[in-house]
Amino acid sequence: MTGASRAPAASDQETRRRLVEAAARLFAERGFRGVTVREICREAGANVAAVNYHFRNKMGLYLEVVRTAIEAMRDTSHALRAAGQGGSTEDKLRVYIRVYLQRLLGQGRASWIHALMQREMADPTPALDLIVDEAIRPRVDYLRALVGELMGRSPRDGRVTRLVAGIHAECLFCQPNPVTARLAPAFRRSPRHLDEIADHIALVALAGIRALRAPARGRTDDGAGRSARPVARTRIPRRDP
């Protein structure tokens, strides 16, 4: 095969790469519905017909961007597991929180992924199921397994689910956004403060796990987090208008 015959293929791959990179930036900034094919092609320095040639349509290009994001998210999941390998379950939980925060607060090339995920959650597309099934669910299931093991309960137990939700909520609160900037303007989330934040979240999580490890006397859980004995509720006096 001559160099002349190889050149078009190489040129095609370069155009494809530029389209994916441009689309990733624009979709992360404005979401799927806020970007046109023409804008992507102008950003990538490509002909509009190139999107049809490589991806068939705008959704095909978006799915390729999503698959790129999923691969990066899988890398995070693999890093979580690898970093904790050989440690105790408590150590694995601490490592999970630390590595997750490192990736979540990273300002490098992968920062567009978090913006893309926020756009997708705010305005879902058919790609959301793919993201959940291939990237988010395996990571959450791993955390469920760790918390469930520490509690001596099924990973699907309601209390395990609530603790997992709490851990993720604390981590996500650390991510820079306009709301947390207003609620906690002095909150420090720079890389040099990351270990302190991770240790605090792990400390709170482990305290909750220890508190819930043994069921309260006379109470059981049905597996969905509902107490078999009704919880007494304070009756609020009715007031006439």
Q: Could you report the per-residue pLDDT of 188-212, keeping only the tens digit for each?
A: 777 778 889 999 999 999 999 999 9
For the record, the structure tokens of 20 come out as 């994916």
Rounded to whole angstroms, how far apart are CA atoms 20 and 24? Answer: 6
Q: What is the mean pLDDT of residues 108-135?
A: 90
pLDDT of residue 236: 40
Give the least confident one: 113-122, 155-164, 200-209, 224-233.
224-233
Instruction: Convert 82-94 to b/e letters by CB count within 10 Å (16 or more is b).
Output: ebbeeeeebebbb
Confidence grade of residue 5 (pLDDT, cut at 50, 70, 90): very low
- What sign does the dihedral 108-112-115-117 (CA atoms) show? negative
Q: Could you report the per-residue pLDDT of 83-100, keeping only the tens digit for each?
A: 999 999 999 999 999 999
pLDDT of residue 201: 96
DSSP tally for the chain: helices H, then strands E: 11, 0
- Domains of the chain and any CATH numbers: 66-213 (1.10.357.10)
With beta carbons less than 8 A apart as the criterion, state whether 221 and 158 touch: yes
Give the least confident one: 129-133, 148-152, 194-198.
194-198
| pTM of the complete model | 0.79
- Pick from 217, 204, 79, 55: which is nearest to 139 by CA? 79
Q: What is the DSSP string of 23-47?
A: HHHHHHHH-STT--HHHHHHHHT--
Confidence grade of residue 176 (pLDDT, cut at 50, 70, 90): confident
Rounded to whole angstroms, how far apart are CA atoms 86 and 89? Answer: 9
